[in-house]
Amino acid sequence: MEFLLEVLKAVAYGVIEGITEWLPISSTGHMILAEQVLQFTLSDAFIEMFRVVIQLGAILAVVVLYWKKLWPFCADNGRDSGFARHLRWPVLWLWFRIIAACLPAAVLGILLDDWMDEHLYNSVVVALMLILYGVAFILLERRPRAPTTVRLGRITYKQAFLIGAWQVLALVPGTSRSGATILGGMLCGLSRPVASQFTFFLAIPVMAGASLLKLVKFFAAGNTLLAGEVAVLLIGCAVAFAVSLLAIRFLMDYVKRHTFTAFGWYRIALGVVVLAIWLVQTVRGGGTAPVPTPTPPA
């Protein structure tokens, strides 16, 4: 019975991950709410690793949905025409831009990771960032703008690097990685669909790297995975994958006909709820509401 409860919690976390990783509404803010009712009885080391590695399921959804746009190699046509002839150069150039966008967060993330964990991972910061970027989305959508980049292949290295700089802001919990990069992309002239799609692709190396690092640290610390823990991890990843498929399709269909204003108002409402929970716990003497072990903000 106890194991079944852990499985159900893994399913719930997978649903939360699959939705909040791609919609610009902050996974950390939702994890704070989830932590109020969903608490694993497994080891702290496993839980810390689980919250990051579950992202692999979400990443796989992007790979499956956009395989043709992401795979840089052509099928073998049976002729010895040289290696370069088997490359899809537009896709390869896109990957170069994705790498360029990863650089700012890769450098600053490593340098500031411990400081961020110590000083900024609390409910008040998360709530304020939810509200701040919610207002930013609303104001951006009210400003008249004509996107200059309406095709993914037209993204420049300058735009990619600037979007990567915006991704650095997502190191602050509650910002939302997807929210920061979409907002930055739109400010750089990208249309909503292009900014959203580039955000999905940018997540692949960022989240895969974070998951790999977390796994290395987990095993380097002498931890091992029990059979029940493996099952919980796989179930969480599988649910995150399935839900991500739906969330990504929903967002891409939504932004073709709507603005991000609704997400802005949702962020503000969620920020108020997180702040209210913190106030209640503070009044009751509980102190600052606990924030889950940080993951790369989504």
Find, among 138, 56, 159, 44, the residue nearest to 167 by Cα: 159
pLDDT of residue 295: 46
pLDDT digits (tens, 9 = 90+) for 181-224: 999 999 999 999 999 999 999 999 988 888 888 898 899 989 99
SS3 29: helix
Nearest Cα to 29, choosing from 209, 272, 288?
272
Q: What is the DSSP string of 41-89?
A: -S-HHHHHHHHHHTHHHHHHHHHHHTHHHH--BPPP-SS---GGGGB-H
Per the CB < 8 A criterion, the answer to whether 34 and 20 are in contact is no
Residue 297's pLDDT is what?
Answer: 46
State residue 169's pLDDT score. 87
Is the CB of residue 202 less than 8 Å from the CB of residue 138?
Answer: no
Q: What pLDDT shows up at residue 143?
A: 87
Check residue 107 and give its pLDDT: 81
Q: Are residues 176 and 26 in contact, defined by beta-carbon separation less than 8 angstroms? A: yes
Partnered with residue 87 across adjacent β-strands are 73
d(CA 61, CA 63): 5
CA 136, CA 170: separation in Å to the nearest integer? 14
How confident is the model over 154-171, as pLDDT tens digits?
999 999 999 999 988 888
Q: Which amino acid appears at position 124 of this protein?
A: V
Residues of the chain short of pLDDT 50, as ranges, are 288-289, 292-297
The pTM score is 0.85
pLDDT of residue 82: 59
Give pLDDT, residue 293.
44
155 vs 151: CA distance, rounded Å? 7
